[in-house]
Amino acid sequence: MKLIIISNRLPVTVALEKQNIKIRPSAGGLVTGLSDYLNSLKGEKDESVFSFKPLWIGWPGEEFKENLAGEVRTILQREFNSYPVFIPSALMENFYNGFCNKTIWPLFHYFPSRAVFDESQWTAYEKVNELFSQEISPLLEPGDTVWVHDYHLMLLPQLLREKLNNIAIGFFLHIPFPSYEMFRLLPRRWGVKILEGMLGADLIGFHTHDYTQHFLKCVLSILGYEHSMGKVLLKDRMIKAETIPMGINFKKFYDLAASKEIEKEKANLKAKWLDQKVILSIDRLDYTKGILNRLEGYEIFLSNNPHWHGKVVLMMVVVPSRIGVEHYRMMKRQIDEQVGKINGKFGSLDWMPIIYQYKFLPLKQLVALYSLSDVALVTPIRDGMNLIAKEYLASRTDGTGVLILSEMAGAARELGEALIINPNDRADIAAALKRALEMPPEEQKGQIEAMQRRLRRYDVVKWGSEFINELFTIKETQRRFEARLLGVQQEVLIKDYLQARSRIILLDYDGTLVPFASDPRLVRPNEEVVEVLKRLSADPKNEIVIISGRDRKTLEEWFAGLEIGLVAEHGVWLRRKNKNWRMLKPLENGWKQELLPVLEIYVDRLPGSFIEEKEFSLAWHYRACQPELASVRANELVDYLVDFTSSTDIQVLHGSKVVEIRCAGINKGVAGLSWLMENDYDFILAAGDDWTDEDLFKVLPEKAYSIRVGIANTNAKYNLLNYQDVLKLIKKLCGSEE
């Protein structure tokens, strides 16, 4: 079993310089963090669950002609255990600079006005994800673990699932997942495909609880899948969405900051600023980072606190990013102008309030700045996590320093001791700067040490290990469900059926013999269902019974001419083969008139819902309604009805997209027993799809075959995935399966 990491970029970047292949490390927190986690596995060869060195798959950074592509692939596999996915330049432009950075990036960071909805760019996104899938699939083997990363490859998990189902697939999103109101701005078919793509994974990871909940709400509102504690039951398996915030290599930063080399670098920098307090701002050039807001907040601070003039300096480093994009060029000009304005307004011959550098800093210089700076100003307008805040804290070996952190950064959920600000409130930033610069060392140490303990304990290795362990746990849960599927045991069932002298088959209708529909009144049995029931009932050894929540008039109309038994309203009415209807026990239905007005109120409050009135029960259906509001209204209604009927002989049932009120003491189990007690059947089969069928499963004898349709906890012995599988089984029983 091997671990395969998949990301848009490889941990190294390959370039062709004067016909020579040059390889250099890739930049970025994702590459750094994952590399640190993978390096930790090297020391666990005896304990690691993976049999082979992890393989990293991604784009090498450039397009290569065919004669060089093979050489690049060989070098990457041999020296870096990496496998390149080559993407044509034109396609990469539409994919990366197009859909990824002009649609997903702004939309997921809550900048909808910057989002572009271009069909050709969406097509490029699909093509690149498919290209990754085609390249990766031949490398996979059953039992492998695949970990897909970030927003560039959100379609990939499902594409891989379709090609090879018996692998563990994890997906981690390193940027925010937006609210439903923001996500729905995507064309619906794009949004559906993205959600389905992510649901191809067994475990989907997010940095914060908010992002996880946003994702689950979108899954409910757009795809209709509900969740329980983050677990989502799909048609064929269970998956989980989980909050697993990414850490850093705390020890690496702490030890490096304490090294003599960094102390020397720090001393050289300190000599330039003498007794000035240093505020550090370091970010990639991006509109999500709030750099202009930060500068404006600093300007307000200088205006309000003239006594700090000459005593403080803002060391601002902006790392170049997406230089070819107009938005970024414009932002660079605005930053240059703002820095010049503040320095011109407040500076003097012997003091500049801002030292501004537009360049990439190597790790040692960066750690020296972290270690030197009295205050770190980290104020993104929206950020998935923000590892700079954590790196600053890890570099504070003397326990002093103050972190000013945006509440919009994912890291704010973990670093509550920092000075948390709203990045859009410039006055808030200015006030936080004053408080940070004047904070006593004892208070600084209390805050820093509390956050350092947390970061040391939950570092990047713990993050990676927790994700992989959780992925294995989900796979084990799936295997337990799969063990209940009627697979190999199906042949035993058929054999027992053929050898039996007297058989009874008890079948639910909706969701068991036919699919659910938005309007349950329209789901008549098709020719296939009628024919298979006719063949089964033609065998004199068989007793076939449809046990449904439908009313008797509907059942009688739909199954007219078939020699089968019928149970209506979950057991209120019974009709044996070729006999008249009779009630299981005397009931009264005067209570319906009291509850009908209540249900009518909820019909008005939930568009698309409707009432189905039966002789001795009422049903409020909401399958066609907006899922999230429907869930709220249904729970409200159930709570009210349970309280309203608490002293009556009335039962409230919350089924699959339906709330039903019926007389107590009547259920499918009682109805089924009325048949089982009349004959000594040596073959019993019962199938149903929801919890109303559990009453029947509970009363069946040990020898019976009970089947729950769908993946769910159940009293049934076995599961089948869907109604098609039920029909296939029944066809096999009557010999009509091809």
pLDDT digits (tens, 9 = 90+) for 683-733: 999 999 888 899 999 999 999 999 999 877 789 999 898 899 999 999 999
- From the number of C-beta atoms within 10 Å of its C-beta (0-12, 13-18, 19+), residue 369 rates as buried
pLDDT of residue 46: 45
Confidence of residue 335 (pLDDT cuts 50, 70, 90): very high
pLDDT of residue 735: 79
477-492: average pLDDT: 84
Other beta carbons within 10 angstroms of residue 264's beta carbon come to 11
pLDDT at 7 over 90: yes
User: Same CATH topology for 3-243 and 592-663?
Assistant: no
Task: Choose the weakest-confidence range: 150-159, 276-285, 314-323, 381-390.
Answer: 314-323
Q: What are phi and psi of 426, to 5 degrees?
A: -60, -35
Confidence of residue 21 (pLDDT cuts 50, 70, 90): confident
pLDDT at 48 over 70: no
Q: Per residue in 23-37, pLDDT tens? A: 988 888 888 889 999
pLDDT at 215 over 60: yes
pLDDT of residue 587: 84
CATH class of 485-585+666-733: alpha beta
262-266: average pLDDT: 90
pLDDT of residue 246: 96
Q: What are phi and psi of 387, to 5 degrees?
A: -85, -15
Place of tokens 């208070």: 443
pLDDT of residue 191: 98
Q: How far apart are CA 274 and CA 270, in angstroms?
A: 6
CATH superfamily, domain 3-243, is Glycogen Phosphorylase B; (3.40.50.2000)
Confidence of residue 535 (pLDDT cuts 50, 70, 90): very high
- Count the alpha carbons within 13 Å of 280 in the hemisphere toward its beta carbon: 24
- The runs of H, that is alpha helices, within 7-155 are 29-42, 66-80, 89-92, 105-108, 119-136
Q: Per residue in 54-64, pLDDT tens? A: 999 999 988 88
Confidence of residue 193 (pLDDT cuts 50, 70, 90): very high
Please say whether the beta carbons of 353 and 314 come within 8 A. Answer: yes
Domain-wise residue ranges, the chain: 3-243, 250-457, 485-585+666-733, 592-663
pLDDT of residue 411: 96
Residue percentage of the chain with pLDDT more than 70: 97
pLDDT at 325 over 70: no
- Helix 188-198 to helix 119-136 angle (10° resolution) is 20
CATH code, residues 592-663: 3.30.70
pLDDT of residue 49: 61
156-165: average pLDDT: 94
Other beta carbons within 10 angstroms of residue 556's beta carbon come to 15
Q: Per residue in 611-638, pLDDT tens? A: 988 888 899 999 888 887 888 899 999 9
CATH superfamily, domain 250-457, is Glycogen Phosphorylase B; (3.40.50.2000)
Residues carrying an active site annotation:
508
Widest CA span of the chain, in angstroms? 106
H or E, element range at 159: helix 156-163
Confidence of residue 366 (pLDDT cuts 50, 70, 90): very high
pLDDT of residue 150: 97
pLDDT at 146 over 50: yes
229-234: average pLDDT: 88
166-193: average pLDDT: 97
- Average pLDDT of the chain is 91
pLDDT of residue 736: 62
Task: Choose the weakest-confidence range: 96-100, 161-165, 250-254, 426-430.
Answer: 161-165
What is the 3-state composition of the chain as percent helix, strand, coil, each rounded to the nearest 5?
45, 20, 35
Q: Which of 158-162, 266-270, 606-610 has the highest mean pLDDT?
A: 158-162
Task: Choose the weakest-confidence range: 490-499, 511-520, 634-643.
Answer: 511-520
